[in-house]
Structure 1
Amino acid sequence: MADTPVQPVSGSSNGSLLPAKSWRHFVAGGVGGMCGAIVTSPFDVVKTRLQSDLFREKHATLSLSGVGNGVVAVPRRTNLLWHFVETGHILRDIYEKESPRALFKGLGPTLVGVVPARSINFFTYGNGKQIIANNFNNGKETTWVHLCAAACAGIVTGTATNPIWVVKTRLQLAEHDRAAMARHKNWYGGSWDMIKQIVREEGFRGFYKGLSASYLGVTEGTIQWVLYERLKKLTKNTSGQGGASEWLGLLGSAGTAKCVATLITYPHEVIRTRLRQPLVNGKVKYTGLVQTLRLVIAEEGTKSLYGGLSAHLMRVIPNAAVMFFIYEAVLRW
């Protein structure tokens, strides 16, 4: 596959290392991330709860409804297709027993996090690949250039936005009793209350729980970006220039790249969620990356490392398709 030339950095209008109009990646990434997050927020709530052991027993009972005994239900719950049905049951349970609003629990900090996170990620990647190519590869984009740019983007994004995701995870795992609802009466007020609670109980270090798992998850973003760039070139070559077929190719490329990257690297999501869980009876159950991995496998088995996978796929694939579609559209516009 032919290498892709990029615009030389020396052509930047402001004399800096960044290419001209580098801000476009920042704006396009933020808009795309915001739209994708709103559309798929209910699946994010379900995914977070299934990844956590705090809600495991509560939602496991849904799989037994209408079944005579637990022995009969086990094969259904281990079937991949049943997990998608189970996700639908959990969505219904949250809607009926908690409120429709609960399906968007944590959306406030999600939006506060997604917009800068996607902006930073797309900004760092979009401009980073040009800087790397121009300085180290004679102005040509290749797979290793995409890989390096994606890794840098993942590390920068994870470090900058980890506190926001800790707050979001804590809100999504909050019990919906009267006291909790009083504390979290709205997204933004609830977020501020949660921030004060984390500072009071765990100090500022509490905002960086799960950061090691986020760095491990950089591999997901790296695989996604490299696959997306490859698939985008393939679909463009087969569909011709412009038109609806090219945009459909972009949608398919984004969704496929995210699906493959997620399936390969998903366990880090579960580990990260466990590390960000609130204190239980004043004690921290999960203290580190390796300790969490060993404890989850010992107590719940290897399959638990894929808890919430169905809900996650139902969220991230359309999310990626929407996000990358809008990102490309805003760049071209």
Structure 2
Amino acid sequence: MAEPQKNNNTNNSTQITTRVTVPPYMKAISGSVGGIVEACCLQPIDVIKTRLQLDRAGNYKGILHCGTTVANTEGVRALWKGLTPFATHLTLKYALRMGTNAVLQSAFKDSETGKLSYQGRLFSGFGAGVLEALVIVTPFEVVKIRLQQQKGLSPELLKYKGPIHCARMTIREEGIRGLWSGAAPTVMRNGTNQAAMFSAKFMFDKALWNKQEGDGTVLQPWQSMISGFLAGTAGPICTGPFDVVKTRLMAQSKSGNNVKYTGMVHAIKTIYAEEGLRALWRGLLPRLMRIPPGQAIMWAVADQLTGLYEKRFLQSAPL
């Protein structure tokens, strides 16, 4: 009777060990694939969000009015303006985010127990958000926002003819630093968002489905979507002012040295003084319409890929 018990203990040890074996590159790949699917599905909502945040004259009465106005005056294709930089941006961003978070979580784990504390999970998410903001998010969003704020589809009437042309024009007129306009609020927004999102996703997976990282079980896509949707709701509410300021700073051209906002703090004060407190959360509803569903889509894809990897690894592990 002792031998079966020994085997069970060996199996348990194998499962505990394999909880930390999903490599960062696999997390990065899963995030990239999820980002492509998310971008194609939700680009129109992102265009509407950007137009609302840049609307100082009150031309748009709400989300539906903004969407129908853009479609009627500029064509339905205008709702997918900036898709190429947005999809590329999401693909690279999620690869860096998921991979970096996995690396940082490994670094923050207790060397003796192998467990990750709540604080370590928060710091890992924040670090991943800061890195993605500086390396990928800021320059890509500068290009995306400047393309999205252009009205019309006739190339001869547009200042920027496409993503590459926009990046070149920005560098020519403002220097390479122009591609990092709005970096400070972007760092604050992304760092806070990812700290909350990774922690919340882990807690919802555990509370709702008894799923733990590396246990070999594969969540159903609808389960991942629920956890991802819930995890993606807190960030937009907390970081609304950072997102509005980021958009305003990225949209303004510095070529003539005549800018309305000189930095993050100045932008917050100016928007509050001129437009009121509610203006700092302008575009919140379309963000809530885009980010939680986007996280639901991304996690549904990412969890399937990492879950299948975990399951295959555990099944092939020696007993």
Asked whether the two chains share a fold, i.e. TM above 0.5, the reply is: yes
- Indicate which of 61, 81, 89 corresponds to 1:113: 89
1:67 is matched with which residue?
none
Quote how far apart the aligned CAs of 1:127 are.
2.9
1:40 is matched with which residue?
42
- What is the SS of the residue equivalent to 1:174? coil
How has the CA–CA distance of structure 1 residues 131 and 87 changed in structure 2, closer, same or farther, with 3 Å as cutoff?
Answer: same
Q: Does 1:311 align with 2:266?
A: no
Question: Comparing 247-256 with 145-154, which one deviates more in the overlay?
Answer: 247-256
Kept in 2, the 8 Å contact 1:275–1:286? The answer is yes
Where does 1:243-258 land on structure 2 (aligned, <5 Å)?
247-258=221-232
2:246 and 2:52 map into 1 onto residues whose CA distance is 13
Kept in 1, the 8 Å contact 2:198–2:231? The answer is yes
- Indicate which of 203, 207, 221 corresponds to 2:194: 221
Count residues in correspondence.
Answer: 287
Give the root-mean-square deviation of aligned CA atoms.
Answer: 2.4
Q: Does 1:89 align with 2:65?
A: yes
TM-score, length-scaled by structure 2: 0.83
Quote how far apart the aligned CAs of 1:182 are.
5.7
- Indicate which of 237, 241, 244 corresponds to 2:210: 237
1:130 is matched with which residue?
106
2:170 and 2:202 map into 1 onto residues whose CA distance is 39
Quote how far apart the aligned CAs of 1:264 are.
1.8
Kept in 2, the 8 Å contact 1:62–1:89? The answer is yes
Kept in 1, the 8 Å contact 2:218–2:303? The answer is no
- Give structure 1 stretches of 5+ with no counterpart: 10-18, 64-85
Question: Comparing 193-202 with 276-285, which one deviates more in the overlay?
Answer: 276-285
Q: Counterpart amino acid of 2:67?
A: L
- What is the SS of the residue equivalent to 2:261? coil
Kept in 2, the 8 Å contact 1:183–1:193? The answer is no
Q: Counterpart amino acid of 1:327?
A: A
Q: Counterpart amino acid of 1:314?
A: M
1:276 is matched with which residue?
250
1:61 and 1:174 map into 2 onto residues whose CA distance is 15
Task: Note the alpha carbon deviations across 1:35-62, whole angstroms, 9 max, x for none.
Answer: 111100000001011112xx332xx344
2:292 and 2:119 map into 1 onto residues whose CA distance is 25
Task: Note the alpha carbon deviations across 1:101-121, whole angstroms, 9 max, x for none.
Answer: 100011111112111111000
Q: Counterpart amino acid of 1:220?
A: N
Q: Does 1:266 align with 2:243?
A: no
Q: Counterpart amino acid of 2:246?
A: R
1:157 is matched with which residue?
132
Q: Counterpart amino acid of 1:221?
A: Q
Q: Counterpart amino acid of 2:26?
A: R
2:165 is matched with which residue?
193
Q: Which aligned segments of 4 or more residues in structure 1 are displaced greater than 6 angstroms?
A: none
Kept in 1, the 8 Å contact 2:78–2:153? The answer is no
2:38 and 2:228 map into 1 onto residues whose CA distance is 12
Task: Note the alpha carbon deviations across 1:9-48, whole angstroms, 9 max, x for none.
Answer: 7xxxxxxxxx663310110010011111110000000101
2:93 and 2:230 map into 1 onto residues whose CA distance is 21
Quote how far apart the aligned CAs of 1:252 are.
1.4
Task: Note the alpha carbon deviations across 1:117-158, whole angstroms, 9 max, x for none.
Answer: 1100011112321232154x7310221121111011011111
Q: Does 1:99 align with 2:78?
A: no
- Give structure 2 stretches of 5+ with no counterpart: 1-14, 309-319
Q: Counterpart amino acid of 1:237?
A: N
2:35 and 2:234 map into 1 onto residues whose CA distance is 19
- What is the SS of the residue equivalent to 1:56? coil
Quote how far apart the aligned CAs of 1:8 are.
8.2
Kept in 2, the 8 Å contact 1:129–1:145? The answer is yes
How has the CA–CA distance of structure 1 residues 313 and 307 changed in structure 2, closer, same or farther, with 3 Å as cutoff?
Answer: same
Q: Counterpart amino acid of 2:267?
A: T
Identity over the aligned pairs, expressed in percent?
27
Kept in 2, the 8 Å contact 1:49–1:56? The answer is no
